[in-house]
Chains A and B, each alone.
Chain A
Amino acid sequence: MKLLYFAWVKQKAGTGEEEVSLPANIRDVNGLIAWLKTRGEGYEAAFADLGIIRCAVDQAHGDFDTSIAGATEVAFFPPVTGG
């Protein structure tokens, strides 16, 4: 699965894009975040305050309980600030 990070989430995670093989028991975005937080301080810092984290599953806005079964791409980012 491809993971993408944007804006300060990217800076804290220390990467903008990575390819990961997930444990089979991870079913939704919540599970993915919990797993990512075990991968190092950068991820822990990036996901320290979930109130300011947004996600997209296969390039569509999702929630933390959105399923990632069969998804090819999940992205994490702060609330958007375009326009």
Chain B
Amino acid sequence: MIRVQAEDFDIGAEVAALTAGRTDIGAVVTFSGLVRDASGNAPVTSMELEHYPGMTEKELARIETEAHERWPLQATLIVHRVGRLAPGDNIVLVVAASAHREAAFEAASFLMDYLKTRAPFWKREEGQGEARWVDARESDDQAATRWKR
């Protein structure tokens, strides 16, 4: 399941909804990403998340489908926030549920690595009266290449 939204999310409620009424799930791995108050040495007072409506949902769905092709997953959820966020706010939630933990751990990691390098979101950080677009990180590209086959 995919959701792109301005509103915050409640991790406990999301996991409860995903597993409600199911007894075939033995493992749930969740990852959530939050806004930090600094980027290197530069303070961050707020962040603006822009995205490409239409393609964002398609790309997240493609990533989710690929995870289900690679691992035996009972359920997955990706929630990504857009708009204006403050330090400490949630940005992204990934949940992977499977019968056994290995698939859930690996799928959650895969979903995040692919989301970071393929989903069309862009962060702009503000601090000390100026705004700057965040540069993509080489380490994120490298993390994603480990799933290449």
Instruction: Point out residues on A near B: beta carbons under 8 Å.
Output: 4, 6-8, 56, 59-61, 75, 77-83
CB contacts under 8 Å to A, within B51-80, are: 51-52, 54-55, 58-59, 80
Cβ of B120 within 8 Å of any chain A Cβ, yes or no, is yes
Q: Which residue of B lies closest to A83 (CB)?
A: B116
CB contacts under 8 Å to A, within B101-149, are: 112, 115-124, 133-136, 140
A81–B39 alpha-carbon span in the complex (Å): 13
Q: Given A7-B122, A61-B118, check contact A82 B135 (CB 8 Å).
A: no
Query: How distant is B119 from chain A, measured CB to nearest CB, in Å?
Result: 5
B interface residue count range (under 10 / 10 to 19 / 20 to 34 / 35 or more): 20 to 34
Q: Given A7-B122, A77-B122, A78-B136, check contact A56 B115 (CB 8 Å).
A: no
The answer to whether A82 and B92 have CB atoms under 8 Å apart is yes
Q: Which residue of A lies closest to B92 (CB)?
A: A83
- In the complex, what residues of A have CB within 8 A of residue B58's CB? 59-60
The answer to whether A83 and B122 have CB atoms under 8 Å apart is no
A81 touches which of B80, B112, B134 (Cβ 8 Å): B134
Query: How distant is A4 from chain B, measured CB to nearest CB, in Å?
Result: 7
The answer to whether B122 and A75 have CB atoms under 8 Å apart is no
